[in-house]
Amino acid sequence: QAKAAGRGNFQLYDPQLDRANVRDLVLGEEIRTALAERQFELHYQPVIDVATGVAVGFEALIRWQHPERSWIAPNEFIDYAEKHRLIEKIDRYVLRQALQQMCIWRANTGTAPKVSVNISGRHFASPEFINTVLSLLEEFEIPPNTLGIEITERAVIDKFAIAQNNIQILQKHHIRVLLDDFGTGYSSLNYLHQLTLDVLKIDRTFVKGSRGNQQENPIINSIVALAAAMNLTVVAEGVETEEELKVLQAAGCDLCQGYYFSKALPAEQAIQYFLEHQTAIVGI
Ligand code: C2E
Ligand code: MG
Ligand code: MG
Ligand code: MG
């Protein structure tokens, strides 16, 4: 870009690039501080049984309560953390936080909601990931079948053999593995076929704005049918309207989550929601 400015008009540096670098450096430092000072918090979005309206558990979603700014959304720092080798630290923090919370809920309410945690692909496909999960489960005495690990297609594809192996090890320990954002990005049926997953999560892009009958929603219906044929549970993300819910019910989708039911809530409110949604609603 300095060249583009023309001869005799040299720019020593591109101020825009410089600003980006400074922001990056600051972000890295801030993430380290946030981990040390426990500024990250998990919120829990209820996961609902489509047919009955019963809450079956939660997806844990990270929230950053920065002391000087208002909260920062994961999209603003997860990518950075993945690039700069901070994601392992964040993932471990999140796992510990979620399992500790599950332990508290169990002690206080006698219930064991299922909780799924998002794990970055790079971290998932690493040898030490399994040990981290197993030792935390043991530390908090959590029944392994109440924990789910959400990974994306991207994660799986980058290091296929290790990912495939780790999926199998987790399942041998009865930990569920969920494929997140299904249908976006790579979605190779060949990969899907070679993985022993438990759950497919239909990305919100396919749910958004859906209405009407089955012929009018071929993608949702196809993904649900595919999941059924492969013996996988299917979860729809980002349900915001009654029309969308009706489409999912007609398709035979198992579970869903979205603002129509609830956004991600702080732990206290989340367990309250869970306890209040244990009875089936007829004709939901
Ligand atoms: P995701 O795993 O696909 O999570 C779903 C995102 O959709 C969440 O955004 C959630 O708040 C949002 N959402 C849920 N229901 C609705 C709805 O009805 N409408 C709309 N418009 N949005 C809805 P969030 O919390 O901002 O997270 C964004 C992404 O960041 C997540 O996508 C996930 O990939 C990543 N992420 C979140 N928490 C963690 C974490 O603890 N660790 C890692 N590695 N990644 C995380
Ligand atoms: Mg997720
Ligand atoms: Mg998702
Ligand atoms: Mg998504």
What's the 203 CA to ligand 2 centre distance in angstroms?
9
pLDDT tens, 75-127? 999 999 999 899 999 999 999 999 999 999 999 999 999 999 999 988 999 88
Question: What does the alpha-carbon distance between residue 122 and residue 166 come to, in Å, rounded to a whole number?
Answer: 12
* 98 pocket-lining for ligand 1 (C-beta < 6 Å): no
At 71, the pLDDT band (50, 70, 90 cuts) reads: confident
Beta strands in the chain (DSSP E): 40-49, 55-64, 114-118, 147-152, 176-182, 199-202, 233-236, 255-256, 265-266
DSSP at 215: G
pLDDT at 172: 97
Mean pLDDT of the chain: 91
**Is pLDDT at 4 greater than 60 in this prediction?**
no
Which residues, including other chains, have CB under 8 Å from residue 232's CB and lie 6 or more apart? 197, 198, 199, 200
Task: Label each residue of 262-282 as H, E or C.
Answer: ECCEEHHHHHHHHHHCCCCCC
pLDDT at 5: 47
Question: What does the alpha-carbon distance between residue 45 and residue 60 come to, in Å, rounded to a whole number?
Answer: 7
* 243 pocket-lining for ligand 1 (C-beta < 6 Å): no
pLDDT tens, 259-274? 999 999 999 999 999 9
Section 52-81 average pLDDT: 93
pLDDT at 109: 97
Q: What is the ipTM of this complex?
A: 0.97
Classified as helix, coil or strand, 256 is strand
pLDDT tens, 154-182? 878 888 899 999 999 999 999 999 999 99
Question: What does the alpha-carbon distance between residue 282 and residue 284 come to, in Å, rounded to a whole number?
Answer: 6
**Is pLDDT at 134 greater than 50 in this prediction?**
yes
Which ligand has the minimum distance to the alpha carbon of residue 184? 4
What's the 149 CA to ligand 1 centre distance in angstroms?
14
**Is pLDDT at 2 greater than 90 in this prediction?**
no
Per cent of the chain over pLDDT 70 is 91
Q: What is the CA radius of gyration of the chain?
A: 21
Question: What does the alpha-carbon distance between residue 199 and residue 136 come to, in Å, rounded to a whole number?
Answer: 22
Classified as helix, coil or strand, 187 is coil
**Is pLDDT at 251 greater than 80 in this prediction?**
yes
- 198 compared with 160, residue with greater pLDDT: 198
pLDDT at 179: 95
Residues in the chain: 284
pLDDT at 19: 67
